[in-house]
Structure 1
Amino acid sequence: MPGRRGPRTAEYIALVLLAAASGAVDALAFTVLGHVFAGVMTGNLALLGIALASGRPADLTAPLVALAGFVAGTWLSALICRGVASDARPGWPTRVLFCLAGETGLLAAHASLWAGSGGVPGGGLRVVLLCVAAVAMGGQSVAMLAAGAGGRPSTYFTGTLATYVARNAGAAVGAEDRWVPVRLAALVAGAAAAAVLHHWAPAWAALPAPVLVLAAVLGATYRPPEAPERNG
């Protein structure tokens, strides 16, 4: 039975790009689509509790929509990735890449609807955009679980941060752990980019997310050329 392997450099870069996409999606979800997150359900459950305690039924809509969309995305992605096994070739399994390609399509549709609203969605469109974003993040979360040893969380980072600090407390940082701060920085950068775009060019604010996920898919499929065999 083959040993577990960690991500290759190309996959680490893809994980960084996925983290940036998550940051961009969550930034817009929180600031524009209802003050909830598209990919961080712990926060949404807390917000749901606050809404229940406030006695304002209208405050329940956004967290419930985000939760429902995320669950739908995880369910669909789990169906696609059920029983997935690593391919003979290195890299993420084909069905994982298929899920991420589907996420790219969802986020592209999300960006198109967003642009059509001029970056100021309201009413029912805001609910639709929040749901689509949550479905995409749910699908990405399960895809990374199905990627096995080559995957890492890319939509929620509380456990990642805690593990990183605990594992490296008073010890030298391992080669694999050097990518953790990069992924965390990418999350912040993705959120900042979306926020800056929404301020200066609101219609384009949702565009970085699908571009980043597409770049991650293309990067994860990269295979370095094999060295020619030497005779003699």
Structure 2
Amino acid sequence: MSDKRRGRAGERPVRPPTEPGVALHLALVLLVAASGAVETISFIALKHVFAGVMTSNLALLGMAIGRGQETGVTAAVLALTGFALGAGVTARLTRRSVETGTRWPPPVMFCLAGEAVVLAVGAVTWAALHGTPGQTARDALQFGAAATMGVQSAAMVAAGRAASPTTYLTGTLATFIVRGVGAGRANRWVPAQLGALMVGAGTSMLLLRKAPEWAGVLPVVLVVAAMLTAVAPVIRMRRRSGGS
């Protein structure tokens, strides 16, 4: 057995990492930014409901029912149904994934790739309609946007300790405050995620104002960047193993 595997005499054996590395944290930040961009398009340019925040959509549904507003009911139901479908399909595809705590399992990556494809189809449709879709197109795009956020949410759940919520950060913020203020164990990546949410939303809003036909491209770029960032350490490790 080589010294690389057993370690040199007198040295402690090198243990494999058990927590997510910097690359995965950066990937999570990018996914949060993508969700902020999708939420902006969903709420501002589509049906005035959220693509990934189902708590708010349930409240909006209740208000729409109370006002007797049919369009509001339809929008909320589309978002809720799309999210549930995306999450359900992802749960099915990732049910046998093995959590490692240090990387996203292949089924999770596969589902994120599917999210990117759906977002890309939406971006092409959005651009073809010059950022001003009609009623039917808005319904379809709303459903698709919610489905992608369902996929992303469920994929991060399936990734376990190697991930964290990326579409709804209220619990993340509360945990950060409790552990940071109450226990002195704050997660330094939480402020980056909160900032990314605002940057993603703000950039998307700017595109909607200045170049609306290109607004749908931003979430696609961010999700693809997150996937590449997450898989980069694995590729480097395999290259090193092949060259040794």
Taking structure 1 as the reference length, the TM-score comes to 0.91
* Match among 174, 197, 201 for residue 187 of structure 1: 197
For the 8 Å contact 1:5–1:150, the answer to whether it is kept is no
Deviates more, 1:105-114 or 1:77-86: 77-86
Q: What pairs with 1:135-214 in structure 2 (closer than 5 Å)? A: 135-169=147-181, 172-174=184-186, 177-214=187-224
**AA partner of residue 79 (structure 1):** R
| Cα offset, 1:172, TM superposition | 4.0
**AA partner of residue 151 (structure 2):** G
Q: What is the root-mean-square deviation of aligned Cα atoms in Å? A: 2.2
In the alignment, does 2:73 pair up with 1:57?
no
| Cα offset, 1:3, TM superposition | 10
Deviates more, 1:50-59 or 1:123-132: 50-59
Moved over 6 A (4+): none
Three-state SS of the structure 1 residue aligned to 2:52 is: coil
For the 8 Å contact 2:34–2:219, the answer to whether it is kept is yes
| Cα offset, 1:170, TM superposition | 5.2
Between Structure 1 and Structure 2, how many residues are aligned?
225
**Cα distance change of structure 1 residues 228 and 153 upon mapping to structure 2, 3 Å threshold:** closer
Deviations 1:43-81 (A, max 9, x none): 000000000100122221100000000000001101100
Consecutive unaligned residues of structure 2, counting only runs of 5 or more, are 1-14
Q: What pairs with 1:1-232 in structure 2 (closer than 5 Å)? A: 5-86=18-99, 90-169=102-181, 172-174=184-186, 177-223=187-233, 225=236
Three-state SS of the structure 2 residue aligned to 1:178 is: coil
For the 8 Å contact 1:39–1:156, the answer to whether it is kept is yes
**AA partner of residue 127 (structure 1):** D
Taking structure 2 as the reference length, the TM-score comes to 0.87
For the 8 Å contact 2:99–2:161, the answer to whether it is kept is no
| Cα offset, 1:223, TM superposition | 1.6
Deviates more, 1:50-59 or 1:62-71: 50-59
Identity %: 46
For the 8 Å contact 1:96–1:146, the answer to whether it is kept is yes
The 1-side partners of 2:166 and 2:105 are apart by: 17
| Cα offset, 1:5, TM superposition | 3.2
For the 8 Å contact 1:7–1:150, the answer to whether it is kept is yes
